[in-house]
Structure 1
C-alpha cells in the first residue's frame, strides 16, 4: 500500500466521489504499467486504499473497471479542440490520440481491452458506454459544428468521417500491426476531408 493510501485510510470515511476517483486512478496506473491482467480487484483496492467490496459494488468485473479507468485517464489527453478550423482541430485531436498510443504507452492496454471485450460482456458494455460511444459523440459534435459553419457539406456523413479517421488508427493498430507515424493524422484528415479523386 502506498503512503498516500495509508494516510487516506486513517482519515475515516471518505466521500464516494473521492473513493471512486482514487480507484479509477489506481486502476489506470496498473493498466498502463502492467496490462489488463494485472487489473484485479485485490490489487486495485490495495493501491487505492479502498475496500474490495466497494469495487464489487460499483463494477461487475475487473475488466469493466479497467475500461472506465482507461476512459477517465485518457479524457483530458483526448479532449477535442474547437479553434474554428476543422482541419486543424481534427489533426490536433487525432495527433493526440496517436501520441497517446505510441508515446504514452496506451497501445498495449487498448489492444488488450478491445480483445478481451470480445469475450467479456461486462467489459464490452463498459467499453462501449464509457469510452467508444462518448469518444464518437465528441467527434460528431465537433464535425456537426463545422458543418453548421459551412466548413463541411450539408450532406457530409459525419459517422463515416469519424469511422475513416479513428477506424484507420484502430485497423493499423489491431489488424495490420503497423506503426502509427507522426504524419498519419494529417494524411488521414486530408483524405477524409478532400477525398482521393483527381
Structure 2
C-alpha cells in the first residue's frame, strides 16, 4: 500500500505582524526581480506570500509602493557597508556590490522601472524616496561621517555631495545615458570623489 502524503498544517494562531510583513516583502521582491514591476500586484504577492490580500491593502497604498519597500528590504543585506577603517577600500567594496547587483544580479530592470514609475505615481515616488533612496543615502553618509571623525576626510568635506557623486554616477549611466558599465568603473569613481581632479600645486 502506498504511503499517503502528509500535509503539514500551520497552527490556528495568528503569525506576528512583523513576520507576515517580512514574508510579504520577500515575496514581492521575488516577483519584482524575477518578472518586473508590472508583475507586482496585490493578488500575486498575496498568493506568493500565503497572506491575505486585505493585509496588503492595509499596509501599502499601492503595489508600486509595496515594490519599492520590497526592493529596499531585499537589497539591504547585499548593499551593507563594510567598516574596516579604510574608507577608500570600504567605498570600493560597497559600490562594487551595488554595481554587481545592478549588472549581474538582475536589479537593473526593476530599478529602472521603479524610478520611471516614481516620475508619474506620487505613491511610488514617496515610497522610493522614503523607503529606499534616502535611507541608502544616509547609510553612505554615516560611513563617510565615520571616516571624517577618523581624520580620513577633510572636516569641511560635503558628504552628501560625495554620496551623490558616487551612486549618482551609476544611476546616470543606467537611467539617463543607458550605456554599459561594470565593476571596473568603481575605483575610478571612488578616487575621483575622494581626491578630485584639480591640479596639485607643488
RMSD across aligned positions (CA): 1.2
Whole-angstrom CA distance in 2 between matches of 1:182 and 1:129: 27
Q: What is aligned with 1:167?
A: 168
Distance in 2 separating the partners of 1:7 and 1:190: 55
Aligned equivalent of 2:11: 11
**1:76 Cα deviation after fit:** 0.1
- Look at both structures and tell me which one has the larger radius of gyration over its CA atoms: 2
The alignment's TM-score, normalised by the length of structure 1, stands at 0.94
Provide the C-alpha distance between the structure 2 equivalents of 1:54 and 1:7, rounded to a whole number of angstroms.
Answer: 24
1:8-56 per-position Cα deviation (integer Å, ceiling 9, x unaligned): 7x43321111111110011000000000000000000011110000000
Does residue 103 of structure 1 match 2:104?
Answer: yes
Q: Say if 2:29 and 2:67, in contact at 8 Å, map to a contact too.
A: yes
Residues of 2 paired with 1:172 and 1:11: CA distance? 50
Q: Which has the higher helix share?
A: 1
Cα deviation digits, residues 47-76 of structure 1 (max 9, x gap): 111000000000000000000000000000
Structure 2, unpaired ranges of 5+: 1-6
Structure 1 CA distance for aligned equivalents of residues 135 and 159 of structure 2: 15
Aligned position for 1:65: 66
Paired position in structure 2 for 1:23: 24
CA distance in 1, matches of 2:73, 2:182: 25
Closer, same or farther: CA 166–51 of 1 in aligned 2, 3 Å: same
**How many residue pairs were aligned?**
192
Instruction: Return structure 1 stretches of 4+ with deviation > 3 angstroms.
Output: none
Equivalence for 1:182: 183
* Corresponding position of 1:3: none
CA drift of 1:91 comes to 0.4
Question: Cα 1:180–1:11, aligned 2, differ >3 Å: closer, same or farther?
Answer: farther
Following superposition, the deviation at residue 183 of structure 1 comes to 0.9
Structure 1 position 173, deviation (Å): 0.2
Tell me, which stretches of 5 or more residues in structure 1 are unaligned?
A: 1-5
Shift of 1:114: 0.5
| Alpha-carbon offset, residue 7 of structure 1 | 5.6
**Structure 2 equivalent of residue 123 of structure 1:** 124
2: CA distance, partners of 1:153 / 1:33: 43
